Amino acid sequence: MKTTISQLKNHIDETVTIGAWLSNKRSSGKIAFLQLRDGTGFVQGVVVKAEVEESLWTTAKGMTQETSMYVTGKVQSDERSQTGVELVVTDITVLHEAVDYPITPKEHGTEFLMDHRHLWLRSKRQHAIMKVRNEIIHSMYEFFHNNEFIKVDPPILTGSSAEGTTTLFHTKYFDEDAYLSQSGQLYMEAAAMALGKVFSFGPTFRAEKSKTRRHLIEFWMIEPEMAFVEHEESLQIQEQFVSHVVQSVLERCQLELSILGRDVSKLEKVKAPFPRISYDDAITLLKEKGFDDIEWGEDFGAPHETAIAESYEQPVFITNYPKEIKAFYMKPHPERDDVVLCADLIAPEGYGEIIGGSQRIDDLDLMKARYEEHGLTDDAYRWYLELRQYGSVPHSGFGLGLERTVAWITGAEHVRETIPFPRLLNRLYP
């Protein structure tokens, strides 16, 4: 019977066949241990010389790393293995012999691994990260589905910019100018006026010349937008959303988290509600911690975010930033016109900002004034203004960066490991 490694535990004492690759091998004169992988998981195959035909022994003993095959064997329960089973091999059909696979079990440098990303993805650690990424996406959809959000897909090619014009990727759109989307938000606001509570999930692009462990040029963002939802309610939805995602991964990716050596006790504490600190108080806190380089009105850098996050065990919302350092569409604070109704959610353990969100300006005249201030005279922005012209309502939304969230939950040091084919400054290959 043909099956997969993930299903072996349901076939104890049965003889089954799996398609697999050899990820590693140990052998003595009498017994060979084949580390097999098939995408669904990893399992050890055991070949005992005295119990198999000569030709099978020769095949097993000479097999090279990443050779592909069909393996037949009897499934045995094995308490010591992570998957709880091993396969006592009775037959192997080699499909393709891999010669000189470049990624050996020894240590390799980062650039070498990045150049071989198309193969590096096969390794146990990368496999575990991709499985967690998949579960994060799954639990995000689950949360929004359970809460009656509608999935809406904004365009990738756009004529306008949501997050400022400095980091746009430009392309020609026949005779017009077009840009790769930095954020679907403006379109999601239009969608919220049609469908109430909506969310998008898609690639976004930023031509940022940043070379940090948190920056990608192409990254995936989930962007909910909600009509009739004000700032405070939006924060509550965000903390419930993030708690749901973290708790789902803890429940469904135990094996992957253990392969990654993640300290799950830290993740177990991630439950709504999350602490909040205003931008004003965050400045005071930083000064107390000895940061002399930051003044009110300046944006936080990674060291500042890390220092603020260190005061908490949960993710923390930093609220009400100065209007000057935030996007044009954010609604002013009702009692102060120098700060806006926004919040960034900062992950613990130095992973930085994972969410940026705000209540949006819903007043037509105020939005017109912002257009003037920001020079948004281009016809490409006309439609966005019209959303405030016909039945405008209070609304809020946010964007969660998937890769930063995966990095935090998996404990990966750098976002380059959290996306299958990272696009980084100076890297478009593979």
Give the residue, chosen from 37, 131, 206, 231, that forms a contact with ligand 4AD under the rule CB under 6 A.
206
Q: Is 353 in the site for ligand 4AD (CB under 6 A)?
A: yes
CB of 226 to ligand 4AD, least distance (A): 11
CB of 32 to ligand 4AD, least distance (A): 44
Nearer to ligand 4AD, 348 or 397 (CB): 397
Q: Which stretch binds ligand 4AD (CB under 6 A): 21-29, 54-62, 299-307, 348-356?
A: 348-356
Nearest distance from residue 325's CB to ligand 4AD, in Å?
11
Q: What residues between 222 and 241 interact with ligand 4AD by CB under 6 A?
A: 223
Which of Mg ion, ligand 4AD, none lies near 183, with the C-beta cut-off 5 to 8 A by kind? Answer: ligand 4AD
Q: SS3 string of the chain?
A: CECCHHHHHHHCCCEEEEEEEEEEEEECCCEEEEEEECCCCEEEEEEEHHHCCHHHHHHHHHCCCCCEEEEEEEEEECCCCCCCEEEEEEEEEEEECCCCCCCCCCCCCHHHHHHCHHHHCCCHHHHHHHHHHHHHHHHHHHHHHHCCCEECCCCCEECCCCCCCCCCEEEEECCEEEEECCCCHHHHHHHHHHHCEEEEEEEEECCCCCCCCCCCCEEEEEEEEEECCCHHHHHHHHHHHHHHHHHHHHHHCHHHHHHCCCCHHHHHCCCCCCCEEEHHHHHHHHHHCCCCCCCCCCCCCHHHHHHHHCCCCCCEEEECCEHHHCCCCECEECCEEEEECEEEEEECCCCEEEEEEEEECCCHHHHHHHHHHHCCCCHHHHHHHHCCCCCCCCEEEEEEEHHHHHHHHHCCCCHHHCCCCCCECCECCC
- Specify the residue, 154 or 356, whose C-beta has the smaller distance to Mg ion: 356
Q: How far is the CB of 164 from ligand 4AD (least distance, A)?
A: 9
Does 398 interact with ligand 4AD (rule: CB under 6 A)? yes
Binding residue (CB under 6 A) for ligand 4AD from 78, 142, 208, 281: 208
**Residues within the interface to Mg ion (CB under 5 A):** 356
Rule CB under 6 A: say whether 376 interacts with ligand 4AD.
no
Measured from the CB of residue 14, what is the shortest distance to ligand 4AD in angstroms?
Answer: 46
The partner in contact with residue 422, picked from Mg ion, ligand 4AD, none with C-beta cut-offs of 5 to 8 angstroms by kind, is none
Q: In the complex with Mg ion, which residue's Cβ is closer, 45 or 356?
A: 356
Judged by CB under 6 A, the number of residues near ligand 4AD is 23
Q: How far apart are CB 298 and Mg ion at their closest, in Å?
A: 15
Residues that bind ligand 4AD (CB under 6 A): 162-163, 183, 185, 206, 208, 215-216, 219, 221, 223, 353-357, 397-399, 401, 403-404, 415
